[in-house]
Amino acid sequence: MSPVQNEPFFLIGHDRSGTTMLRLILDRGAVAIPAESMFLVDFASVRRAGGLELPERAERLLREVWSHPHVKLWRLSGDPPPVPPGLSSDDTYRFVVGSPFVAYAEREGKARWGDKTPAYLHHVDELATVWPEARFVVLVRDGRDVALSVMPLPFGPNNVWAAAKAWSRAIRLGREAEARHSGRVLSVRYEDVVADPESEVRRICEFLGLDYDPDLLAIERTDPTKFVDEQSGWFRGIWSGINANAVGKWRREMTADQQRVFESIAGAELDLLGYERSSSAPEPAPSTPAATVYAGHDAALRLVNFVRLRLVQERGREVGYVVRRKLAGAGR
C-alpha cells in the first residue's frame, strides 16, 4: 500500500465551489468525510508551542479537541482514545487531532478519513506539516457563480466587490499552494466535474489513492444525516444529483454592473482559469469612494450575519473560536 493510501486528504477552496459535492461523492466509497472540522486551525498554536510529550498537556488537548463544537456535531459515542505513551510532541498532536476523524471513520465502517473544510485553503502549510504525506484537492469555480451563491448566505462576502476580492485571493492561494507543495495539490474545476463526472472523479480518485466506482456519482442518494441539521438548507441542489444547472448562472442573474465590477477586480484570475469574460475590454477598478462604500456595506452585513449565524442560529456555541480565528487572520 502506497503512503498516500494511509494518509488523510483535504478538500479545500472558496466556499460554494463544489467542495460539498465532492465530499459526498468520495464519502460514498471507502473513505469517511465528516462535516467541516475547523478545529485543526483552532489548535495549531498548541502544536507550535510544543510540550505535548508531557502526559498532562496531551490529555488536556485531547479533552479540548473532543469538546470542540464541530466535533460535537459529529455525534461520536464513547470516550476519546487514550494517548499512547512515549510519543514525541508532534506525534502526540497528530494522534490527538486525528482521533475524532478516526472514530468517525470507524463508526462509518471505514479505515480511512478525509476532511472537507474550504477555509483550510488558507492553512495548507500547517496541515502539510502535521501530515507530511497528505494530499489536497483545491476546488475552483467561476467566481461570478460563486458570488451569486455565497452572497445570500450568512457567511462570506456580501456584495460583488467583496466577493471578487475574496475569490481572487482564494485563487491565488490555491496556485501558491500548488507551487509550494508540488505533487501534493490537485486543482479541479467545478465546471469540469459536472460536465464529465466519471473522468474527473476517476482522476481525483487516482490522485488520492482511492478506488473508483460508478456508484460514487449517485450523490442524490446521500443520507440526509451527512449534513448538519441547521445547514441542510444551504445544499438543496445536492438532491438533484450531479448536473450543470448552476454553471454560467451569472449570465442570467448578475446585472451588467455587477459583472463589470467583478471582472474589474478578478479579471486576471478569470483569465488564468479560462473563464470567459462578459466583455473583451478590461474594466477599470471602482474608484476609491465606490470601493469604500462597498467595503462599508460588506462590513456592516458581516456584523449582522455574525449575530444571525453565530448567536441566533448556532446559539453561540462557536463564538469564542470564531473571534480568535478572525483576530488571527487579521494578524496575517
More confident position, 283 or 114:
114
For all residues of the chain together, what is the average pLDDT? 92
| 159-214 confidence digits (pLDDT tens) | 999 999 999 999 999 999 999 999 999 999 999 999 999 999 999 999 999 999 99
**In this model, does residue 232 exceed pLDDT 80?**
no
Instruction: Note the pLDDT tens digit of each residue in 164-177.
Output: 999 999 999 999 99
pLDDT of 136 reads 98
What residues contact 108, with CB distance under 8 A and at least 6 apart? Answer: 32
Beta bridge partners of 185: 136
235 burial level (CB within 10 Å; 0-12, 13-18, 19+):
middle
Average confidence (pLDDT) over 245-251: 96
Letter for the amino acid at 84? P
Is the per-residue pLDDT at 142 higher than 80?
yes
Segment 5-18, tens digit of pLDDT? 568 999 999 999 99
Residue 2 phi, psi (nearest 5): -75, 155
Q: End-to-end CA distance of the chain: give it in Å, rounded.
A: 39
Residue 187: the pLDDT is 97
pLDDT at 1: 33
Residue 13 burial (10 A CB sphere; 0-12, 13-18, 19+): buried
Domain 3-33+114-330, architecture per CATH:
3-Layer(aba) Sandwich (3.40)
